[in-house]
Chains A and B, each alone.
Chain A
Amino acid sequence: MIDGKLVEDVTVELLRKAAVYLPHDVKAALERSYDDEKDDTAKAQLKTILENIALAGEKGLPMCQDTGVHLFYVDLCGIRDSATISGSEASRHVGKHNVSWITDAIAQGVRRATREVPLRPNTVNPLTRENPGDNTGMHMPHINFRTSDNDYLEITVMMKGAGSENMSCMRMLTPSQGVAGIKEFVLESLVSAGGNPCPPVILGIGIGGSADICTCLAKEALLRPLGTHHHDEKIALLERELYDALKDIGIGPMGLGGRTTLLGVHVEYADCHTASLPVAVNFQCWAARRATARIYEDGRVEYPSHDGGK
């Protein structure tokens, strides 16, 4: 049975795992970078990062003090919520559920994790800057509900720190600026971010859709494990081209110079209006904290991002 209590407990565990342990792909990429780095200062930065990751695991504490704002992605299909499913198979597959209980359970999990992990109380009112102290508030935690054909409920959390998020940018290019315009914009964004987003970084790039859609896609691109490429060949090629060219920019770990600036470049796209070309860049710092849980109907839970589960 999947109920509010289980979703709350899983939320706490997801936030703990994300805050304390990096996903395998990110950790491996950082280790490779350390081995490849030649510059003394840069190597010292990467060494400190690796020591810090090890320390987090040993102590069971958050690796970075900025435990971010909490962005959740919930893939809905497959939850059998007897109170809300009318019984028809069709309604199950279009994800027609009353989901407010999930929203409540996740918010409750965030409150508990803030005390128990602990996480830094980061969310404030944007105007008064008042801090309720528990990481909840208007639209926070932020939950994106999506539908899927899975037979489990999947919840992914991303903890997004401000250092990297503050470097985000989006622009409405004109169609005539084309692919070259996109590349220019990405290059310009990376140069102006410099050392602020705690490089080495992962670049999430969203292309097309509309102003809001490309911004969301840029963020979602960061959910993909490092080393994976977009299934569309043209997009995968763009990812490789950007990575190969930009990795030698020389910003280096923490902007102190060196060869390690990028861990990866991920691109997502949506078709767009014939008269526009929206593009957005989202930066992910080395502390790429995300975690995914799959909750099965019998209450079994897997954490594929951290268990090495499939």
Chain B
Amino acid sequence: MISEKHLSLPLSEDDVRSFHLGDAVRLSGVIYTARDEAHMRILGVMEKGDSLPVDFKDSAVFHCGPIMQKNDDGWKVVAAGPTTSSRMNALEPGFIEKTGVRAVIGKGGMNEKTLDAMKKYGCVYLAMTGGAALVAADHIKGIKGVYWAELGEPEAVWVLEVEDFGPLTVAMDAHGGSIYEDVRRNVEKNLPEIKSKLGLKQ
């Protein structure tokens, strides 16, 4: 069984540099959702030199488009699992550099440029179980705000108060290591046998 590390946000560079591939992690504190549209907006705002309504520095960005419900006391989270991170591949290196975010939470992993940016600026990728939206929602204790709601519920930036958020797995570390890269190499190693089982030419 893997033992879990419980950490509170904000995270320091030392915190994230001490993570190893395969570590199980849980986070408590404030995290922010951002998907494609929000990433583009945020980078656009920063490029112009304007200030952002939220500060990602030393915090975590959660690739997530939640289901929210509005009632008399405000917003309530219904379901909030991770979305496919690779859609943000082209935007994430710039996002990490400019915002100083320390952790990216998502599913499916990200590309080499993002891995390089993580190594350079001190950031990690924490894999969350895709589709496990209610397990995730169970650890979201409150919604502290929503920005750019006009982008629609999934694309808006939600400010989430989380407690023992996870389970998360360190899948890309701040030293250039990536489970996805290891898996890719392993898959490649398995290909000859699979091809021979299928009667295909090598």
Contacts and interface: CB of A to CB of B under 8 A. Distances in A.
A198 B107 contact: yes
Given A163-B83, A183-B200, A44 B171 contact: no
Interface in B186-202: 186-187, 189-191, 193-195, 197-201
A41 B194 contact: no
B81 A65 contact: yes
Contacts of A194: 108-109, 180, 183-184
A43 B133 CA distance: 18
Contact of A119 (B67, B86, B108, B180): B67
A41 B109 CA distance: 15
Contacts of A248: 190, 193-194
Interface residues of B, number: 54
A254 B180 CA distance: 10
Nearest to B134: A55
Given A41-B2, A118-B78, A61 B134 contact: yes
A56 B152 contact: no
A148 B109 CA distance: 44
Interface stretch (B48-56, B90-98, B124-132): B124-132
| Interface residue range, chain A | 35 or more
B86 to A, nearest CB: 6
A41 B22 contact: yes
B83 A245 contact: no
Q: Is the interface of A mostly helix, strand, loop or mixed?
A: loop
A22 B135 CA distance: 16
Contacts of A276: none
Contacts of B134: 52, 55-56, 59, 61-63
A196 interface: yes
B59 interface: no
A151 B43 CA distance: 58
B86 A196 contact: yes
A241 B195 CA distance: 11
Interface string B68-84: 01000000001111011
A195 B190 contact: no
A120 B67 contact: yes
A252 interface: yes
B143 interface: no
| From A40, A119, A122, A250, residue with most partner B Cβ within 10 Å | A250
Given A191-B187, A256-B179, A245 B198 contact: yes
Contact of A257 (B1, B78, B182): B182
A62 B190 contact: no
Nearest to A132: B152
B154 interface: yes
Contacts of B130: 163, 195, 198, 254, 285
A64 interface: yes
Contact of B199 (A180, A250, A287): A180
A118 B198 CA distance: 44
A198 B130 CA distance: 6
Contacts of B138: 55
A68 B186 CA distance: 32
Interface of B: 1-2, 22, 24, 37, 64-67, 69, 78-81, 83-84, 86-87, 107-109, 127, 129-135, 138, 152-154, 167, 169, 171, 179-180, 182-184, 186-187, 189-191, 193-195, 197-201
8 contacts: A52-B135, A59-B134, A62-B79, A62-B134, A163-B108, A194-B184, A195-B109, A250-B189
Interface of A: 40-41, 44-45, 48-49, 51-52, 55-56, 59, 61-67, 118-122, 124, 129, 131, 133, 161-163, 166, 180, 183-184, 187, 191, 194-196, 198, 241-242, 244-246, 248-257, 285-287
Given A65-B79, A118-B69, A183-B199, 4 more contacts: A52-B135, A55-B134, A55-B138, A64-B79
